Each structure stands twice: as C-alpha cells, then as structure tokens.
Structure 1
C-alpha cells in the first residue's frame, strides 16, 4: 500500500495529484476514479455497466480490469478492488466530498416555515457563512464530459446546490441578515438565471433592507432575460411583490 497522498479533482476539471504532483491518467481510468469518487464503493458489475454501457458484459468487465490494473500501477493505494466490489483507496481525497457534506448539512436544517430559532441552524459567524457560500458556489462538476451518468450526476448536483442556496437565503431573511441573504440568493440566480424563486429572494432581500432600487433592478434584469429567452413575462406574483412587500413591512 502506497503512503502517497492522492487527491482527485472533479469540480472544474478532472485532475489527479500524487504527493502534490499532477499525474497523467488515461480517459478510461479518469472515469473509473470519477465514478467511484461520486458514488463510493460499487459492485464491479455496476461500474463496468455504467462506464461501458454499449459493450458486452465480457468486454465491459475486461475494460474495467485493465483500467484497475493501470490505476494500481500508477499508485497501489489509489483503488481497492475485490472480487465483487471496487472503491477508492482510504488515503484518497476527492474535492467534491466537502460540497456533498455541506449539501447534506443544509438539507438537514429545519424548514423555513417552521423555523423560529435559527441560532443553531445558520451560523452567525460571517466567516462560516462565507465558507459555506464558497463551497456551494464552486465550479461545475466535470464540465465537458457528456457520458449519461455524468450528465445525471452534474444535473442532480446543480439542483441540490440551488436548493441549498435558496434555503439558506430564506433562513437568513427570516433572521434579518439581508446582506448575506442577498449573496446566497444572487448565487442561486447565477446558477439558474431563469429561476423565479431565486429572483424573488433577491428582491425580498433588497426590499427588507430598504433598497427598493436593488429590488427593481433585479426584477427588470429578470424580466428582460425572460422575454429574450422565452418570450414570456414574469408571473403576477413577482410583479406584485414590489408593491405588496413594502406594505407588509410597514404593518410590523
């Protein structure tokens, strides 16, 4: 077993570093490590079938054996392959894991509607919030890879990120932290510019902060984009938000 540190990057682009030095790895081997990094230990048949769906079972298993052999030649601790399953070695680190951990943490937070005490839900330390935002707003998963399983994982991760950003923005708005709520909501809009719920959060943050011009700017930008790309207007609810939200604050 190798003692070398192994780090695999899947966000932004694929890369393997061994003791801090970039390793040259073939396309098949890259995909083996990417699949295991995203899904953890897998049955050998599942890995072979996922990576070589158009091959016969015999050919797919042979491709997997060859790829595993090459990876072990590169570093004996990179993968652990048994008769029935295969996994990354215990010393391997994958950059997507902190993001997945953060997403699970956010998804376990109490829902916006029933959350009254947020002290334990959203960190009050701005450094914690900035670290959370940086993790959620990182680069895309394996851009330029178009395998069916990669498209599925990339889309799923994309939507989980957006939901997490929106959830934290809503919690922060309830707590009155309009500045950080805006940061999280704007990042959700950056990931999905036509998502009205994210635009509404940006507008609400501006209105709650007394910055009506920011809310109007967010609305106008969204309306122009919606018209240019889909040829439709914003919903009536979003239009009415500009008129009704200030009145709601005045009654408090």
Structure 2
C-alpha cells in the first residue's frame, strides 16, 4: 500500500475491483475489524443495511483460495496471517529505530524504506488521510533516529542522507536539522554545521518569525567547542 495499491501472489499481480481494494486496505491496516465498523467506514453515505449488503458483495468478489485473503470470525473480519502488509514492515522498522531496540546494520536499505512512497497516494478518504499522517510522523521520527544512530556508528555520509530525507519531508522541523548538524560535526566540518544552523535560523524567521530553540544553539556550541557569537550571529 506504499505507493499504488498492489496485491501480489508470488510474482503475479492479483486484480481487485475498487471496493475490493478499499476493503483489503482497511482490513490490512487494522488486522481485525468488525463488519459494522468496516461497512460504515467504506460506505458512510448509505443506510446500514445497504452498507452491509455492499460489504457482503465485495467479500464474495474476492479471489478464492486457501487460506482466504480475509477470514470471517463471528462478526469480525481478519486479514489472513499469510498476507504480508508493507505498511506493517515499515512501522516495525521505524519503531525499532525510535526505541533503539536494534541499531541498523544496513543504513542504505533502511533509509530507502523510510524515505519511500506515501500510503495510497490519491486516496482521499478520511481513514486513509489519518493513517497517512500517522505514518508520516512515524517516518520523520525514525529518520531522525536513524541519522543519529548512523552518526554514532561513524557513518556521517549516510546520516546526512537520513537527516536530509527528513528535512525534505518537513523543512521546518528542528529535530531533522539538529541531526544534520550532528552529522557535520561528526566529520569535523564545523563550517558546514554553522552554515546549516544559520540557514535553518533564517528559514524559521522568514516562515514563522521565530528563532531555533535555545537547546539547538547550546548543542552546537557544546559539540563544536566554539563561542556564543560565532553561533548566534545571523
């Protein structure tokens, strides 16, 4: 679901109708959902009876197989355990980075996953927009954490790539700029670190009329070992 919706069996694409895609996407994201919630979410503008009828029709049109794509458990619908959902893989990787449970050994592939495509671009239903924003925030935090981890591992070039991926997604987010400055300092590039700080400072002033946090300037002073004037001069 990152990028256009795709359902694959092995190396072959499985075609679904639009409602089938919507149902697979919703149940795939939730894992388990009641029929009432699913019908009311996918068909909110019709009566409950009509929505449940549309749900039954959509379920009937799903490709047949063992195990089925979606299992019926009483009034709940459950995505089968054999269906792998890329969103869950992304979320697990991001949370692992944020919690520092498993420092990445392959910075490049991890970075590619975190800076990849959005959830279901072009879909504008409320439940998609909410989940897309959740994933966006999760990715941003994970990119910041990845940049800091790579800096600690002595891999500042990849750390900068992670920091810039976060900056491109949200240019006014201070934590991403702090990660970039940390990577510059790890390479001993004080001039680059100070230049980046001042560029961010100007951006904040132009867009929001505010200054970077005192903690940012203090971090730069402490890690660079330079004086206040060098940092705070505009």
- TM-score (norm. length: structure 1): 0.77
Match of 1:81 in 2: 72
Q: Does 1:165 align with 2:143?
A: yes
Match of 2:103 in 1: 122
Given candidates 92, 95, 109, the residue that maps to 1:101 is 92
| Maintained 8 Å contact 1:98/1:135 | no
Match of 2:178 in 1: 200
Compute the displacement of 1:239 (Å).
5.3
Match of 1:211 in 2: 189
The 1:26/1:210 distance shift into structure 2, 3 A limit, reads same
- Counting only pairs closer than 5 Å after superposition, residues 217-236 of structure 1 correspond to structure 2 as 217-223=195-201, 225-226=203-204, 230-235=207-212
- Deviation track 1:186-237 (CA, whole Å, cap 9, x = no partner) reads 2221221110111121012112311134324433543454455x25254253
The 1:221/1:62 distance shift into structure 2, 3 A limit, reads farther
Query: For structure 1, which runs of at least 5 residues remain unmatched after alignment?
Result: 1-9, 111-120
User: How many residues are matched?
Assistant: 224
Compute the displacement of 1:70 (Å).
1.0
| Maintained 8 Å contact 1:41/1:85 | yes
- Which is further off, 136-145 or 216-225? 216-225
Given candidates 146, 149, 157, the residue that maps to 2:124 is 146
Query: For structure 2, which runs of at least 5 residues remain unmatched after alignment?
Result: 227-234
Q: Which runs of 4+ in 1 moved over 4 A?
A: 238-244
- TM-score (norm. length: structure 2): 0.82
Q: Secondary structure at the match of 1:181?
A: helix
- Deviation track 1:105-129 (CA, whole Å, cap 9, x = no partner) reads 224326xxxxxxxxxx424x4xx22
Q: Secondary structure at the match of 2:209?
A: coil
